[in-house]
Chain A
Amino acid sequence: MDITLRALITLIHGMLFGTFFLMAVYGLVVELFRSAYVEQPSNLCSKGYSLERFYLICTVGLGWAAVLTGAYVVYPWYRAIPPAGVTNLALYPRYLLKSSAATAGWHDLGMEWKEYIAWMAPMAMTMVAYVLTKYRLSMREHPQVRTTVLVFALVAFGAAGVAGFLGAMLNKYAPVNGGPTIHLRGKSQ
């Protein structure tokens, strides 16, 4: 059971940072919807608020980790230019996708959309976390603030969802591979 270093880092970018960010934002969206229907607003103790703040900070951290590893680590591998004369494009995912009309769309739509929309997720989530932390009481007194926070949380979820889905499909058709092979289990090939 082997994996290349680039594939492992791509996995960490998508399945660890990206997926956990998506799950955390989903939980937050559900909680924001639920809080609109409570009859008696709950008051947390100070430890409860600390845990809530920790959750929000971790969610924001996951989002930024996902986009920064994606843009500055994985994306350069994706768009690497094959040397002249190379016919096997397996290590050059962008060129591999664009080499066939059947897969070119995954780059033209997939990566071209993913590389930009993904950045909206941590920006929106940072705003959401800041408002929820600093202006918690305003959410009760000003329903419009709750609406804004909810919309931006939904945008964070949607943007991350689009980026995650497209990333998974891109990795399916043109996986990012290369670098040293890490042997996980069993006999090495």
Chain B
Amino acid sequence: MSAGAGCSVLGILAVVADASKPMARWLTFYLPPGPLSGVSSMAILLWLATWIILARRWRTKTVAIAKVNATAFLLLALGILLTFPPFADFLQGK
């Protein structure tokens, strides 16, 4: 689930950085790679944070694996789609 979440956040932030110059500047954590530094760092942070939180919450629970899988796959598909430049440009009306 967290891997899917990380991938979808990567895609969302990629589109946001491309669409908004102020956001691109905010996501420039390190100047040489530009906004990529912030997009990737935030995606990794959220991936790891989700992993830790869900691991603690679900440690003693039985989860509906089919629902978890479906959600993870959806998030993954969203991330893949949003990182595809023609689709990202389409969303921005370019």
Interface residue ranges, A against B (CB under 8 Å): 67, 71-72, 75-76, 79, 108-109, 112-113, 115-117, 119-120, 123-124, 126-127, 142, 144-145, 147-148, 151-152, 155, 159
**Is B85 touching A120 in the complex (CB atoms < 8 A)?**
no
**Is B10 touching A116 in the complex (CB atoms < 8 A)?**
yes
**Is B3 touching A72 in the complex (CB atoms < 8 A)?**
no
Distance from B27 Cβ to chain A, minimum over Cβ atoms (Å): 12
Q: Which of A115, A126, A147 is in CB contact (< 8 Å) with B36? A: A115
Which residues of B77-91 are within 8 A (CB) of A?
Answer: 79-80, 83-86
- Given known contacts A76-B32, A109-B86, A123-B7, A117 and B66 CB-to-CB distance under 8 angstroms: no
A108, closest chain B residue (CB): B85
**Residues of A with C-beta under 8 A to B65:** 142, 144-145
**Residues of B with C-beta under 8 A to A113:** 83-85
How many residues of B are counted as interface, with CB atoms below 8 angstroms from the partner's CB atoms?
31
**Residues of B with C-beta under 8 A to A75:** 32-33, 36
Distance from A94 Cβ to chain B, minimum over Cβ atoms (Å): 11
**Residues of B with C-beta under 8 A to A142:** 65
B24 part of interface (Cβ distance < 8 Å): no
**Residues of B with C-beta under 8 A to A119:** 10, 40, 43-44
- Taken residue by residue from 26 to 45, chain B's Cβ proximity to chain A (1 for < 8 Å, 0 otherwise) reads as 00001011101101100110
**Is B83 touching A116 in the complex (CB atoms < 8 A)?**
yes
Distance from B53 Cβ to chain A, minimum over Cβ atoms (Å): 15
**Is A120 touching B34 in the complex (CB atoms < 8 A)?**
no
The 9 sampled A-B contact pairs (Cβ below 8 Å) are: A72-B32, A109-B86, A112-B18, A116-B11, A116-B14, A119-B44, A126-B3, A127-B3, A148-B69
**Is A76 touching B33 in the complex (CB atoms < 8 A)?**
yes
**Is B3 touching A124 in the complex (CB atoms < 8 A)?**
yes
What CA separation (Å) do A152 and B10 show in the bound complex? 16
**Residues of A with C-beta under 8 A to B32:** 72, 75-76
